[in-house]
């Protein structure tokens, strides 16, 4: 699984970081970033939950 964040849509709410802190972090500019190139199977559920809870729908899971 891969995950991306649309930098134009992210507003830095941090919901993704709260739900899946092993995958997401807030960068120095205050926006979310993905920490892993490939998401391990054991984190896939939390990544999907983070994407579903993003208020801006900025996270794409594929």
Three-state DSSP class for residue 47: helix
Alpha carbon distances (Å) from 48 to 28, 34, 40, 57: 24, 13, 12, 12
What are the domain boundaries of the chain? Answer: 3-61
Average pLDDT (11-25) is: 98
Alpha carbon distances (Å) from 5 to 20, 24, 32, 48: 14, 10, 7, 13
Query: How does pLDDT run across 23-56, given as a tens digit for each residue?
Result: 999 999 999 999 999 999 999 999 999 999 999 9
Kindly report the pTM of this predicted structure. 0.94
Q: How far, in Å, CA of 30 to CA of 49, rounded?
A: 21
Q: Residue 44: what are its φ and ψ, rounded to 5°?
A: -60, -40
pLDDT at 26: 97
Quickly name the fold that domain 3-61 has: Alpha-Beta Plaits (3.30.70)
pLDDT at 15: 97
pLDDT at 37: 94
């Amino acid at each position: 699984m891969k995950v991306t964040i649309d930098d134009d849509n992210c507003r830095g709410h941090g919901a993704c970081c709260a739900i899946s802190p092993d995958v997401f972090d807030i960068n120095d500019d205050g926006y979310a970033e993905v920490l892993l190139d490939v998401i391990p199977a054991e984190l896939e559920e939390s990544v999907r939950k983070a994407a579903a809870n993003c208020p801006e729908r900025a996270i794409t899971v594929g």
